[in-house]
Chain A
């Protein structure tokens, strides 16, 4: 009785949470909207249009002004529009990688957790191996090799954006598999699964009808938080020179402006801000969903 009562006394500060959630959702929607319709929105400069601010162009760009809201970079490109065009690809790559990771990681985690035994041991080894190498190093190795091999799968030639999507998708496998596996193991012992099994339901039926629906909230949370992490990883890859040439993503913009940080801080700090706000927003959304579905933090 005592514990029950003391738990009941926890009153969550709801208002602050809602503000955070609304902010995250607003930022993501605004960014996605701009990115989707970048070429049609009047206030976004075309990707290749050079912007002269007050008729000037300097070797390191010009600061924020009415013509270029966030200033220009050293080639006189509008940083705001570059950031938006960058968002286009970043979001595409991030979402693609998350879907790939969810599919692959979710599948092996589910199989390992459901069948246990030998399958599980195999899954554990795969997951442990993927986790043993620092993720960014793994990404570097894979992108670089994919790039080198110039894969042609049937009529689909794997271009840089796809390479990065695949790479980040592979990075997402291990953590997602681990979470799915843990969840599956705990679900598997619950009454409704045991009932289904004792009624002689087939494995496939149990997995698709009983397990999968119950895994969705967790997966959704992890997907959002993971999206933030993958976007940050994409930024890091681009920064380290293994990014996408065109359109340039935020990481690459940061890299280009690096040497001008003292003279043209805007060229570095605004792409940074875009990256930061996006990652934070996805984390907030993930957190929000986790609270909605009451998922304990420890499982993440």
Chain B
């Protein structure tokens, strides 16, 4: 528990630093009173309007005060601010877009794991076999393929040539029409999940090979435990650490991939929103989106820490002593 609270503190510090940093970065150069409001409103607006918005969101106070009000709004009243340009609250504006990206990310991670685990386990088991070599080749290849290259190729083949999928991945929720949802999300998820799977395969294979050489695996064999059981119940669990640790970093690169994929597939997701709001200087939207992304990375890392303690009793034990 003490360990977790320590981590929580550490992650909160990171969260504050990053969100504050984003705010400062967005406002660099907007020093004169009224500047932030004017920037946010864009175009020519009346002075009264600027004054009103500035006052409402404390935009003329110093940065720390502004940050405080923004954070307070989020925590106290789930008020993520107001998109003046769109004339709606940031929360309403963001929600459908975040869901799209959320689905992309969750599917990509899940599929990444589902694809990676059996391949890596079998590769490690049949080391140096042709299967292992092919696995190494493909994982190396897919790690190197940027989403920017993968998307056009896959669209060219599966949309243009084969016509199996629609080019534009409109957001359709699974609860509305699962078939359509699947059709729309399939290709983008492939683009995002294969490189993720490739990273997982490489990490897991290396760890599995090390684990399979350890004495307790020989003991399991000497006990007469079946190879399947030895692999899945003894070796796999002891080899999950690198993969789990990498999930946190993978979330970051998935969001990066999503930015490109959403553009290429015309999916109106978070990446779409981020780019348009950064360009149109919609300060509150950019701030809130960054905050949500940082928070998800931070929570994922916390979750992984918790998972460690579930998987490895030694960590539980050691941490109880801390």
Q: Taking the complex as a whole, does A directly touch B, i.e. does some CB pair lie under 8 Å apart? A: yes
By the criterion CB–CB under 8 Å, are B25 and A145 in contact? yes
Q: B residues 131-175 with Cβ under 8 Å of A?
A: 133, 140-141, 143-149, 152-153, 155-156, 160
By the criterion CB–CB under 8 Å, are A283 and B144 in contact? yes
By the criterion CB–CB under 8 Å, are A265 and B274 in contact? no
Cβ of B311 within 8 Å of any chain A Cβ, yes or no, is no
Q: Which 4 A-B pairs have the closest CB atoms?
A: A136-B256, A134-B255, A232-B146, A134-B252
By the criterion CB–CB under 8 Å, are B28 and A149 in contact? yes
Cβ of B22 within 8 Å of any chain A Cβ, yes or no, is yes
> How many Å lie between the Cα of A233 and that of B25 in the bound state?
21
Which of B141, B148, B294 is in CB contact (< 8 Å) with A239?
B148
Cβ of A279 within 8 Å of any chain B Cβ, yes or no, is yes
Interface of A is mostly: helix
By the criterion CB–CB under 8 Å, are B148 and A134 in contact? no
Q: Which residues of B contact A272 (CB under 8 A)?
A: 148-149, 152-153
By the criterion CB–CB under 8 Å, are B17 and A125 in contact? yes
Cβ of A45 within 8 Å of any chain B Cβ, yes or no, is no
Q: Chain A 1-29, CB within 8 Å of chain B: the 1/0 string?
A: 00100110010010010000000000000
Q: Chain B 8-36, CB within 8 Å of chain A: the 1/0 string?
A: 00100111011001100110110000000
Pairs A–B under 8 Å by Cβ, sample size 5: A125-B14, A129-B21, A142-B25, A240-B259, A261-B160
Q: Chain B 22-56, CB within 8 Å of chain A: the 1/0 string?
A: 10011011000000000000000000000000000
> How many Å lie between the Cα of A144 and that of B141 in the bound state?
32
By the criterion CB–CB under 8 Å, are B259 and A297 in contact? no
Q: Chain A 243-269, CB within 8 Å of chain B: the 1/0 string?
A: 000000001001000100110010011
Q: A residues 219-240 with Cβ under 8 Å of B?
A: 228, 232-233, 235-236, 239-240
Cβ of A137 within 8 Å of any chain B Cβ, yes or no, is yes
> How many Å lie between the Cα of A158 and that of B294 in the bound state?
29
The size bracket of the interface on B is: 35 or more
- With known contacts A149-B28, A298-B242, A275–B279 Cβ distance under 8 A: no
By the criterion CB–CB under 8 Å, are B275 and A241 in contact? yes
Within the complex, the shortest CB–CB distance from B15 to chain A, in Å, comes to 7
By the criterion CB–CB under 8 Å, are B140 and A136 in contact? no
Which residue from chain B places its CB closest to the CB of A297 in the assembled complex?
B206
Cβ of A201 within 8 Å of any chain B Cβ, yes or no, is no
By the criterion CB–CB under 8 Å, are B22 and A131 in contact? no
- With known contacts A129-B14, A135-B256, A261–B144 Cβ distance under 8 A: no
Total chain A interface residues with beta-carbon distance under 8 A: 49
Looking at A7, A128, A134, A287, which has the most chain B CB atoms within 10 Å of its CB?
A134
Q: Which residues of A contact B259 (CB under 8 A)?
A: 136-137, 140, 236, 240
Which of B22, B148, B252, B298 is in CB contact (< 8 Å) with A275?
B148
> How many Å lie between the Cα of A10 and that of B279 in the bound state?
54
> How many Å lie between the Cα of A133 and that of B279 in the bound state?
18
Which of A135, A148, A239, A269 is in CB contact (< 8 Å) with B153?
A269
Cβ of B253 within 8 Å of any chain A Cβ, yes or no, is yes
Within the complex, the shortest CB–CB distance from A31 to chain B, in Å, comes to 16
- With known contacts A131-B249, A132-B298, A133-B293, A251–B148 Cβ distance under 8 A: yes
By the criterion CB–CB under 8 Å, are A279 and B255 in contact? no
Cβ of B263 within 8 Å of any chain A Cβ, yes or no, is yes
- With known contacts A134-B256, A228-B144, A279-B144, A141–B14 Cβ distance under 8 A: no
Q: Which residues of A contact B238 (CB under 8 A)?
A: none
- With known contacts A133-B18, A283-B140, A236–B260 Cβ distance under 8 A: yes
Knowing that A236-B148, A261-B155 are A-B contacts, what are 18 other residue pairs whose CB atoms are under 8 Å apart, sorted by A's residue number?
A6-B213, A125-B13, A135-B256, A136-B259, A137-B255, A140-B275, A142-B25, A144-B278, A228-B144, A235-B149, A240-B263, A241-B279, A269-B152, A269-B153, A275-B149, A279-B149, A280-B141, A283-B140
By the criterion CB–CB under 8 Å, are B18 and A129 in contact? yes
Q: Which residues of B contact A283 (CB under 8 A)?
A: 140, 143-144
Within the complex, the shortest CB–CB distance from A273 to chain B, in Å, comes to 8
- With known contacts A276-B145, A283-B144, A297-B206, A240–B275 Cβ distance under 8 A: yes
